[in-house]
Amino acid sequence: EAGVTQSPTHLIKTRGQQVTLRCSPISGHTSVYWYQQALGLGLQFLLWYDEGEERNRGNFPPRFSGRQFPNYSSELNVNALELEDSALYLCASSLQVRTAGELFFGEGSRLTVL
C-alpha cells in the first residue's frame, strides 16, 4: 500500500513569490494535516482538512491556505513568500474514525526562500 506522498520534494523560491505544495493521503484516509518544521525546530500545526472541509488552522497568517479535493488529496498554498517561510512542510493523513494519534506522514517538501 502506498504511503503519503508529497510533491515537490525540494523547491527554491524568492521572496514575494507564491508556492503550491501537494499531498496525496493513504488510500481511504479522509483527514489531511499540514505542518511546518523550520530547521532544528518542532512541528508547527498549520491546517487540518477532513471530508473536504477545513476543520482547524494553526497560528499562521492568511497567506497560508489550502484545500482538500474530493479524492482527499490536498494542496497547501503560500502567498507572498517571506524568508522565514523556509522550512520542511509535512503532510500527514489519518482515518478520522480511528483512535487518536495514528498519523502517517509523508517525506515532506523542503522549501527554501531566497
Partner 1 sequence: LAKTTQPISMDSYEGQEVNITCSHNNIATNDYITWYQQFPSQGPRFIIQGYKTKVTNEVASLFIPADRKSSTLSLPRVSLSDTAVYYCLVGAAGGYQKVTFGTGTKLQVIP
Do the Cβ atoms of 111 and 19 come closer than 8 Å?
yes
Looking at residues 47 to 106 of the shown chain, list those that interact with partner 1 (rule: CB under 8 A).
48, 50, 55-56, 58, 88, 90-92, 94, 96-106
Per this entry, what is the length of the chain? 114
Comparison of 13 and 55: residue with beta carbon closer to partner 1: 55
Tell me how many residues contact partner 1 (CB under 8 A).
Answer: 33
Q: Determine whether 24 is exposed, middle or buried from the number of CB atoms within 10 Å of its CB (0-12, 13-18, 19+).
A: buried
Establish if 110 lies at the interface with partner 1 (CB under 8 A): yes
Comparison of 67 and 110: residue with beta carbon closer to partner 1: 110
99: its cell numbers: 483512535
Ranges assigned E (strand) in 25-86: 31-37, 44-50, 53-57, 64-68, 74-78
**Interface with partner 1 (CB under 8 A):** 4, 31, 33, 35, 41-45, 48, 50, 55-56, 58, 88, 90-92, 94, 96-108, 110
